[in-house]
Amino acid sequence: MHIELDGENLSIDSVVDVADGLFKVSVSPLALKRVSEAHSYVQKLIEEERVVYGVTTGFGSLSSKMVSKNDAEKLQRNLVRSHSAGVGERLPERLVRAAMLLRLNTLLKGHSGASPETVSLLAEVLNRNIVPVVPEHGSLGASGDLAPLAQVALCLMGEGVVTHRGQEKSASQAFAEERLKPITLGAKEGLALINGTQMTTAGACIGIVEARRLIESFELASALTIQALGSRTDFLDERIHLARGIEGQTLSARSLREKLSASECTNRSNRVQEAYSIRCIPQVHGAAREAISFSEKIVTAEVNAATDNPLLFPADDAVLSGGNFHAQPIAMVLDLLLIATLPIGNLSERRVERLLNPTFSGLPPFLTNKSGLNSGYMVSQYTAASILAENRVLAHPASVDTASVSAGQEDHASMGFTAAKKLLRAIDNLWYVAAVEALCAAQAIDLAGVADSLSPATKEVYKQIRSRVPTLIEDEPVGPRIEEVKQILRSIATTRGR
């Protein structure tokens, strides 16, 4: 299966599907025509010896330095090599593939000037899963994600290091094995490949999809908890949520009602009303849903945006310098997503307390018989609490920070890619928190003797957990159990999200 790219209609979900290797890509003929027209226009500008930033001039604060047309190709090679200045641990292949796809899509808008050959090679490299090794540090999210995207451009030149067929190797070796020919960058092509927000936007796409899946997983885990504790469910009554009128809240309440439908083990509690960590699930999860919905609008626009500089408008014979490479809109969205998902984890950890504490659960302390001799799941809560403490630190907004570089020419930065890295770290952390709750809830269900009374929707989840993680009888390492449940929840959420 493949997705045809046209520079206009790429979705967030498709970005993640391609990043995960589920689809290959092709380029629409109309988009390729736009690419060809823009590339021809660049050749015209060169022949006419016009002053065009990044084509016949240097870059950043060196934009006043003129470059002869005879050095146009060397200028682009030098740009890519000099801007490949990233350091640190390598970025996940999934993130790099998403960024490659996004860069390809923006080139197809016909405002950048890359050649059809360069566009076709980028598509081939993506389809053949040649993934540049991109260091994590280097982007300010200001003049785009220059350093990380330069590593991608370097790969297309047959330089740098890549992963291919499960091995790390030189780009030149990978190209030889795939019988691909590296490109010789023409005028403006280096700039066209590296000037944009694609690495940051890739993080936003993955973050949005993962945040949706997380909400599904936390709602499954909380539904297990509600049944383990025999909680009241009147807080899910649709009338409550319609009275407030916030769509995300209404959707979360409906999701929980569906997951609890036909359960025979709810409403065993004699409490008048449940604690906030149970009763306010729709409100807290709903707020996250609203943040995701808002973020999707901004990110979908950016996925299909021209974020290069300068932008070419061949039909108008115009070359315009602007700031579409500035990632401020995406940086703020990334910060919002992290802030919005954090309270979901906080709420989950409080429910874990109610499962482990016999005062609230009526079950053996820490969900183990022979407590004292056994500690059961006591320290699983510590794990969740420590993760959430880290996430609270990560939730400090990156987008309020800035930097001034390039001798003051580029005197404001969004820190968008910093926001992206923080979000992806925090989301990965939250999967563990969801796993801790689901693990403890399954144990509580066993101790309460209500496994046969679970709702159909949650019984299947419970069975999947028990097929790989048996009931805890005697103390054993809990960490591997958490890891296993994390994988189960991710698999379920990924399947349901398709």
Q: Are 132 and 241 found together in one domain?
A: no
CB 384 within 8 A of CB 436: yes
Among candidates 127, 458, 437, 93, which has minimal Cα distance to 264?
458
Among candidates 365, 385, 363, which has minimal Cα distance to 373?
365
Separation CA 405–CA 34 (nearest Å): 34
**315 is in which domain, residue-wise?**
203-496
Q: Are 311 and 369 found together in one domain?
A: yes
Could you tell me the CATH number of the domain that includes residue 417?
Answer: 1.20.200.10
Residue 411: per-residue pLDDT? 77
Q: Are 191 and 297 found together in one domain?
A: no
Q: Are 84 and 55 found together in one domain?
A: yes
Where a domain ends, among 179, 196, 213? 196
Where a domain ends, among 160, 175, 196? 196
Residue 217: per-residue pLDDT? 98
pLDDT tens, N- to C-terminus, the chain (498 residues): 899 999 999 999 999 999 999 999 999 999 999 999 999 999 999 888 898 888 888 787 777 788 787 888 898 999 999 999 999 999 999 999 999 999 999 999 999 999 999 999 999 999 999 999 999 999 999 888 999 999 999 999 999 999 999 999 999 999 999 999 999 999 999 999 999 999 999 999 999 999 999 999 999 999 999 999 999 999 999 999 999 999 999 999 999 999 999 999 999 988 999 999 999 999 999 999 999 999 999 999 999 999 999 999 999 999 999 999 999 999 999 999 999 999 999 999 999 999 999 999 999 999 999 999 999 999 999 999 999 999 999 999 999 998 888 888 777 889 999 999 999 999 999 999 999 999 999 999 999 999 999 999 999 999 999 999 999 999 999 999 999 999 999 999 998 755
The sign of the torsion formed by the CA atoms of 277, 342, 292, 12 equals negative
Q: Are 178 and 217 found together in one domain?
A: no
Please report how the helices 198-229 and 416-448 are oriented relative to each other, as an axis angle in degrees rounded to 10: 20
Q: How far is CA 208 from CA 108, 137, 296, in A?
A: 24, 22, 7
Residue 497: per-residue pLDDT? 58
Number of CB atoms found within 10 A of residue 262's CB: 10
**Whole-model pTM over 0.85:** yes
Strands (DSSP E) found in 183-315: 311-313
Q: Are 177 and 236 found together in one domain?
A: no
Residue 66: per-residue pLDDT? 81
CB 415 within 8 A of CB 399: yes
Active site residue: 53, 276, 377, 382, which one? 53
Q: Are 266 and 133 found together in one domain?
A: no
Residues 6+ apart with CB under 8 A from 87: 135, 137, 138
Residue 68: per-residue pLDDT? 82
Residues 6+ apart with CB under 8 A from 392: 342
Residues 6+ apart with CB under 8 A from 281: 219, 222, 252, 256, 347
Residue 57: per-residue pLDDT? 85
Residue 496: per-residue pLDDT? 73
Q: Are 408 and 427 found together in one domain?
A: yes
The number of folded domains in the chain is 2
Q: Are 174 and 120 found together in one domain?
A: yes
Q: Are 334 and 483 found together in one domain?
A: yes
Could you tell me the CATH number of the domain that includes residue 35?
Answer: 1.10.275.10
CB 272 within 8 A of CB 462: no
Q: Are 153 and 225 found together in one domain?
A: no
Q: Determine whether 41 is an active site residue.
A: no
Q: Are 87 and 156 found together in one domain?
A: yes
Where a domain ends, among 165, 196, 227? 196
Q: In the β-sheet with 131-132, what is the strand arrangement from edge to edge? A: 131-132, 161-164, 167-170
